[in-house]
Amino acid sequence: MLQNRIASCDICHHEQQEIRMGAGWPGWAIINGIGATAPVEGIPLSNQNLETYLCPLCVSRVSNYLTGLQEKQS
């Protein structure tokens, strides 16, 4: 039997289950290229080393932080 997937925020650890299989998680973001888990020498890379999942609250926090950085550069 198939189960709906669960996403876990790599910042605050909030979890959310899909409402139906394949629906994803509206409002969530995945940052590619920045891993939530540091690589360990001798162990092949996985998605944990290459992606960071963010819940809607942490998406907002990161967005505000990035906006602040941009404003400082102006």
Distance CA 28, CA 56 (A): 5
Structure confidence at residue 1 (pLDDT): 57
Structure confidence at residue 26 (pLDDT): 95
Q: Where are the domains of the chain?
A: 6-73
pLDDT tens sequence for the chain (74 residues): 567 899 999 999 999 999 988 889 999 999 998 887 777 888 887 777 788 999 999 999 999 999 999 998 87
Nearest to 55 by CA among 22, 13, 1: 13
Q: The tokens of 37 are what?
A: 């888990």
Structure confidence at residue 44 (pLDDT): 83
